Amino acid sequence: MLISSVSSSKTLTNYGVFNKDNSPASSSSNFIQDSYANQIDKEFNEIFEDVKDSYDTLKEITSKGAEGYWSWQLKNLKKKIAEQIMGEMGVTKESLAKMPSEERIRQEKLVMDELKKRIEEIVRNEIKKEQKENVLKGNSLSDDVVSSLLQMA
């Protein structure tokens, strides 16, 4: 998934890119820092990537059937929530672009971490709601379905 590879501060801390307080680690190699910085930048920018025209949007939605539609919906939800988070933090895409790279990466990582938390919370709440409704109907969601939904987030 889009965020999962950079969302854990433990992951980046283990490689020496960031300290536990999200400050850049000074002892790690430039290669590792640049690699993860590029990865965070790429994944952050993918959230705000605009589809060029309505044909591309329709193609993106319909290319994989229901999965394509829900992937598109999730992408739009992530963009909306990321914009809310950035507003709460008092940053914009423009202000991020003007920051020194270490500060920009730190801010992007904070946005990505909070985005992941919020998306997972939304998915968990929807799963709970669905499970309640299904129990009332005499059905239940399998553990595989629940796991798949959480992985999509």
Tell me what pLDDT residue 15 has: 39
Kindly write down the DSSP assignment for every residue of 20-46, as one continuous string: TTSPBPSSS-HHHHHHHHHHHHHHHHH
- Does position 78 have pLDDT exceeding 80, yes or no? yes
Question: Residue for token digits 């987030």?
Answer: 153
Question: Residue for token digits 């999962």?
Answer: 4
Mean pLDDT of 39-53: 79
* Mean pLDDT over each residue of the chain, to the nearest integer: 74
pLDDT tens for residues 20-33? 565 555 544 555 56
Tell me what pLDDT residue 44 has: 85
- The amino acid that residue 139 corresponds to is N
The whole-model pTM stands at 0.61
What is d(CA 118, CA 112) in angstroms, rounded to the nearest whole number? 10
Beta bridge partners of 24: 18
**Neighbouring C-beta atoms of residue 74, cutoff 10 Å:** 17
**Neighbouring C-beta atoms of residue 17, cutoff 10 Å:** 24
